[in-house]
Chains A and B, each alone.
Chain A
Amino acid sequence: MKETVIDAHNLSKIYDEKTIPVYALNKVHLHISRGEFTAIKGPSGSGKTTLLNMIGGLDEPSEGFVEINGTNITELKGNELIDFRLNNIGFVFQSYNLIPVLTAKENIEFIMLLQKRPKEETDQRVLELLKQIGLEDKIDKRPQELSGGQQQRVAVARALAPKPQFILADEPTANLDSVSAENLLDIMLKLNQEENMTFIFSTHDQRVINRARRVITMEDGKIVEDTAETVIIHKPK
């Protein structure tokens, strides 16, 4: 049996609870196992990003809770939650979000430095990742000196560097051309296989969906289809 990394129970996010409640997320249950390569698809406003934010501890659910490796992160507050994210979750954002004043190498080692990992280990890991993403020659380049695809590869390496429990990627290919997008997917799949790293994407991109081993479809804040379960969980009206 595969080890469960993420366990989301009855997750809801309701805006304007007192007036007209709007369900950004509506009683969602989700289990993700180690090593999965999962895409969450759905139209805009279907709740993909909200679900990722809940799983990543960036947003609080109105109802329900999220367990990461048995820790209920919904109960964590302030710096406790930030520290949990630091040590367990990797993030890749749609618009790369690299630190503009740091070089590619410094961006990749950033989280490991926050974790106070030994310098030798950090340097070794950064070089290894730079090689894996094919940017050894861009080690001292700042983000503005890199293309969008290269920046996103650095962002993936940054997320991977500290070997988190899983990586959440919010529309990682949305701003990339098709060659860069394919390239990035190749790298992520390779890392998924080589390091058994769990990836969860929110995406509109069919290329990502095509290569995902599990596809979750969302509509109106609900999971309406999950290929892991091979049955439609909830039919749209």
Chain B
Amino acid sequence: MLIKIAGRNLWRNKKRSVIIISAVSIGLWAGTFLTAFYNGMIEQRINTAIGKEVSHLQLHHPKFRSDYDIQYYLPDSQKMLQTIESDSLVKIAAGRVMLKGMIASAAGSSGITINGVQAEKENSLTKLQSKIIKGSYFDAEKSNEIIISEKIRKKLKLEINKKAILTFQDKEGNLAAEAFRIIAIYKTINAPYDESNVFVKNTAVDSLAGIPNGFNEIAVLLKSNATLDESLAQLQQKFPNTEIKSWKEITPELGLTVSVADQMTLIFMGIILAALAFGIVNTMMMAVLERTREIGMLLALGMNKFKIFIMILLETFFLILAGCPIGIILALLTVAITNKTGLDLSSYTETYSSFGYDSVIYPSLTWNQLQTVLLLVILTAFISALFPAKRALQLNPAESLKK
């Protein structure tokens, strides 16, 4: 009987029911899509960081990362690299000579990180060549070539084929300087990275830095992120005196970004759920107030308060039941479409790239995330329905019947 009354009550005021069904659908859609959007953004950032910036694992001298001093290079670097490359879990590994220094032109100078890279391996590791927007990649025959970013080019008013001076300290602490010819300009989606990184061949700087054929960094790209912990443990066993860090430890800012994104998702979800709750409380409260006389009559006839409470909750439940599938279908459709086409936010490119994000986001969603959003929406709707239901319980039959 309660189910019958609650079910039929839904269509007494179609406009009101449509409002609640829409609120639940939109809430669910918005919550799900927002989660998928942030998910896509974070996944993309992590993939970019691993695939194009830091790789899965990095090996350094235990003291190197504290002040980036070249004297803390990896002993037996070449042998170490060969051992790593022979590991079946490793896709590719490349050695680097990392130097903190200055780049100077006639227009000025700028503090930078000089990446002395193994040209071919580096390209396989970080797709460096694909980031070039002007010029060509390193020539195996030539030395003293440099690839700078578009940002540095603009700042120092440099052009292709012009020379820039790199200055840095060698292993002994002496100042070393060398002129490099600009062969290419690169651009990534990570503006802070572009502002502070230049690329030269490792052979062009290792001797100058005092570590011929040596590296102070080996970057390792695994075949799968799933074997990260396993590979880390294996390498730690093989090279006990070497600092080996995963991408999570190397880029703590990425962890922070993930956590900020999670918090942002929570805040936006909170706003969406609060709006949903507000809508449901108001609409159901209207439903109760409009039916004050009827509820008074039900109380008078002998319908106890628990049943009236359940009747109001059932009405909300039916509305949620109608709203949820619509919201879920809409959300899944939107996520499926945007996951293929991508969401082009190119009008905000500068803003996004300054945080290391691409301007095209591919929203993605896991089943667990969908379940969480669904659960939150249903919970919010039920909690919101408690207030109007409680209001119904406070009615006095004699007073209500006068209305």
On A, residues with C-beta under 8 Å from B are 53, 56, 58-59, 78-79, 82-83, 85-87, 91, 93, 97, 99-102, 106, 110-111, 113-115, 158
Contacts and interface: CB of A to CB of B under 8 A. Distances in A.
Given A85-B302, A100-B294, A114-B303, 4 more contacts: A82-B304, A85-B301, A97-B401, A99-B297
A86 B301 contact: yes
B37 to A, nearest CB: 42
B302 A87 contact: yes
B303 A101 contact: no
Interface of B: 1, 4-5, 8-9, 12, 293-294, 297-307, 396-398, 401
Contacts of A56: 300
B401 A101 contact: no
Nearest to B306: A79
A106 B397 CA distance: 22
Given A100-B12, A102-B8, A110-B1, A82 B303 contact: yes
Contact of B398 (A59, A78, A79, A86): A59
Contacts of B396: 59
A110 B300 contact: no
Binding site secondary structure of chain B: helix
Nearest to A54: B398
A93 B297 contact: yes
B301 A91 contact: yes
Given A53-B398, A79-B306, A97-B401, A110 B301 contact: yes
B1 A79 contact: no
Of all A-B residue pairs in the complex, the 6 with the closest CB atoms, nearest first, are A86-B302, A101-B8, A59-B398, A58-B398, A97-B297, A79-B304
B397 A58 contact: yes
Contacts, number: 63
A232 to B, nearest CB: 29
A111 B300 CA distance: 11
A13 to B, nearest CB: 10
28 contacts: A53-B398, A59-B398, A78-B305, A82-B299, A82-B302, A82-B303, A82-B305, A83-B304, A85-B300, A86-B303, A86-B304, A91-B300, A93-B401, A97-B293, A97-B294, A97-B401, A99-B294, A101-B4, A101-B8, A101-B9, A102-B4, A102-B5, A102-B8, A110-B301, A113-B1, A114-B1, A114-B302, A115-B302
A111 B301 CA distance: 7
Contacts of B297: 91, 93, 97, 99
A193 to B, nearest CB: 25
B270 to A, nearest CB: 36
A101 B5 contact: yes
A53 B294 CA distance: 16
B310 to A, nearest CB: 13
A61 to B, nearest CB: 12
Contacts of A102: 4-5, 8
Contacts of B294: 97, 99-100
A173 B264 CA distance: 63
B365 to A, nearest CB: 39
A93 B12 CA distance: 22
A235 B396 CA distance: 34
B8 to A, nearest CB: 4
Contacts of B401: 58, 93, 97
Contacts of A87: 302
Contacts of A82: 299, 302-305
Contacts of B293: 97
Contacts of B301: 85-86, 91, 110-111, 114, 158
Contacts of B299: 82
A83 B300 CA distance: 10
A79 B303 contact: no
A59 B1 CA distance: 27
Nearest to A162: B302
A82 B299 CA distance: 7
A163 to B, nearest CB: 14
B305 A99 contact: no
Nearest to A82: B304
A205 to B, nearest CB: 19
A8 B12 CA distance: 41
A85 B5 CA distance: 21
B306 A106 contact: no
B302 to A, nearest CB: 2
A51 B398 CA distance: 11
Interface centre among A53, A78, A99 (most CB of B within 10 A): A99
A85 B299 CA distance: 9
A101 B6 CA distance: 9
B12 A101 contact: yes
A102 B294 CA distance: 13
Contacts of B303: 82, 86, 114
Interface centre among A86, A91, A101, A158 (most CB of B within 10 A): A101
B378 to A, nearest CB: 25
Nearest to B6: A101
A79 B302 CA distance: 9
Contacts of A58: 300, 397-398, 401
Contacts of A111: 301-302
Contacts of B300: 56, 58, 85, 91
Contacts of A86: 301-304
Contacts of B1: 110, 113-114
Nearest to A79: B304
Contacts of A83: 302, 304
Contacts of B398: 53, 58-59
A229 to B, nearest CB: 28
B307 to A, nearest CB: 8
A82 B8 CA distance: 24
